[in-house]
Amino acid sequence: FTKASFKEFENIPNHDMLQSANAFKEFTDYMSENDHMNFRFITEGCGPIVQVKTSFMKNSRECISLVSNDYLNFTQHPKVKQAAIEGIMKYGTGAGASPLIGGHHEYHVQLEDHLSHFFNKPKGSSIVFTTGYTANSATLQALLKEEDCAIVDMEVHASVYEGLNNTNTKRFPHNSMIHLERALVDAQNKFRTKLVIIDGVYSQNGDIAKMDEIYELCEKYGAYLMVDDAHGIGVLGENGRGCIEIFNLLDKVHIISGTLSKALGHIGGFIVSSPEIINYLRYQARQQVFSSTSSPAANGLIKAIALIDEEPHWRTKLAENITYFKNGLLAMNLNIGTTQSAIIPVKIGDPHKTAQVARMLLESGVYANCIVYPGVSKKDARIRTSLMATHTKDHLDHVLNVFEHIAKKIDLTKTR
Ligand code: PMP
């Protein structure tokens, strides 16, 4: 293997699965031994400070974590933990079956009712899935067939693409209204259902969809709109209802998809839509039929949802942290792209340099993700940081100091 290129193990002619896996093992070994980024970390804890272990470190070390989507740090909130424990004590540790055949429990019903209420919708407007990933993939597989068409922003999450196997797909360049309109015109008389699918916050750049313009175009051309607001719900909008609240579209968006694993601090996903769509998904989404769902610890989520209203100061603190950290990075002339959220990339460009920076950060007690191809395009490697409400000013100052120190050794500003 030469310098880290995925092409060297991808699609090797005549390699069966075992040979491909062997080649891949050689590749990852090469990556570790040659001091490139080893992708596997073991983390202990979930919060602003964690213990991290990886192959090039003898012992685990304490780091400031910039890798978590636990934006409000509700995984550690005493009231959320207490409610999760109570759920387990009352109902046990598992759901025992898939939702349609005995695994839909009282705590699921309560959770769904709380989600409907949270989005100001009638009872029956929400359905819970085991993950945000399956909420997207199973819902889209159930709703869209070969007579239909999904029109997706190119940067939507992988779970959306996973759901589009049975249908027609048109992809438009990220947030480009001209291209979206072209796709809508093209699809207009050809397909039964036209569903435009966007993320609220895009997970690599941290920027937000132009949702108002997108909704207008959907209206104009008779398309439905689905928004995956995994990174916005609980965090953005005056009341934490996410990007859709920012654009005042909570009554308009046809399908809202979200996760329970980020701001809400647990695991799971959900869809909010009309009661008829939700009823259809209960029978038709394969995950509802063939896969068990969340454990009674999901009881903690009911408290977490309530805390979005009861303790808005977490959102305020996160917003303050974002402003402070972004200003610090910009003062060093680093390229943070177009972020408008808690996801703040430091764009470096060259993947090897980016891996080197990630390693230097780690050695200075800062744990941040090194994102290279295929996570992003080949010349767009970056350090991806995400902030939490419980990062202190001292934590952020330490990270900024480390970036400043690295920038003195490696020119981070010229490699965009
Ligand atoms: N949508 C987006 C935009 C995401 O970033 C993610 C998680 N990375 C998901 C969906 C999947 O959510 P979960 O982790 O709950 O499966």
What is the residue-averaged pLDDT of the chain? 93
The secondary element (H helix, E strand) that includes residue 350 is: none
Q: What is the mean pLDDT of residues 231-238?
A: 98
What predicted TM-score, i.e. pTM, was given to this entire model?
A: 0.95
Tell me what ipTM this predicted complex has. Answer: 0.99
DSSP 67-119: ----TT-GGG-HHHHHHHHHHHHHH-S---S-GGGTT--HHHHHHHHHHHHHT
Is a pLDDT exceeding 60 seen at residue 332? yes
Tokens at 253, concatenated: 């968006």
Is a pLDDT exceeding 80 seen at residue 402? yes
**Tell me, what's the pLDDT at 7?**
54
Q: What is the mean pLDDT of residues 118-131?
A: 98
| Best probe residue, ligand 1, of 133, 140, 228 (max atoms within 8 Å of C-beta) | 133
| Best probe residue, ligand 1, of 157, 199, 369 (max atoms within 8 Å of C-beta) | 157
SS3 at position 165: coil
Domains of the chain (ranges plus CATH)? 1-28 (no CATH), 35-65+312-409 (3.90.1150.10), 75-310 (3.40.640.10)
Q: Tell me how far apart the alpha carbons of residues 346 and 97 are, in angstroms, rounded to a whole number.
A: 43
- Tell me the one-letter amino acid at 10: E
Ligand 1 proximity of 130 Cβ (cutoff 6 Å): no
Ligand 1 proximity of 132 Cβ (cutoff 6 Å): yes
Query: Per-residue pLDDT tens for 141-159?
Result: 999 999 999 999 999 999 9
**Tell me, what's the pLDDT at 4?**
45
Burial 262-285 (b: 16+ CB within 10 A, else e): bbbbbbbbbbbbeeebbebbeebb
Tokens at 89, concatenated: 């004590």
In angstroms, what is the span from residue 132 Cα to ligand 1's centroid? 5
In angstroms, what is the span from residue 189 Cα to ligand 1's centroid? 33
Q: What is the mean pLDDT of residues 251-268?
A: 98
Ligand 1 proximity of 9 Cβ (cutoff 6 Å): no
Closest C-alpha residue for ligand 1 atom 12:
132
- 40 in Cβ contact with 54 (< 8 Å): yes
Q: Tell me how far apart the alpha carbons of residues 383 and 40 are, in angstroms, rounded to a whole number.
A: 16
Cβ-defined contacts of 162-165 (< 8 Å, 24+): 162/133, 162/136, 162/137, 163/136, 163/137, 163/138, 163/139, 164/140, 165/141
| Best probe residue, ligand 1, of 261, 291, 376 (max atoms within 8 Å of C-beta) | 261
Is a pLDDT exceeding 70 seen at residue 333? yes
In angstroms, what is the span from residue 258 Cα to ligand 1's centroid? 8
Q: Tell me how far apart the alpha carbons of residues 401 and 378 are, in angstroms, rounded to a whole number.
A: 28
Residue 162 pLDDT grade (very low, low, confident, very high; cuts 50, 70, 90): very high
Ligand 1 proximity of 38 Cβ (cutoff 6 Å): no
Q: Tell me how far apart the alpha carbons of residues 208 and 229 are, in angstroms, rounded to a whole number.
A: 10
Q: Which atom of ligand 1 is nearest to the CA of 134?
A: 16
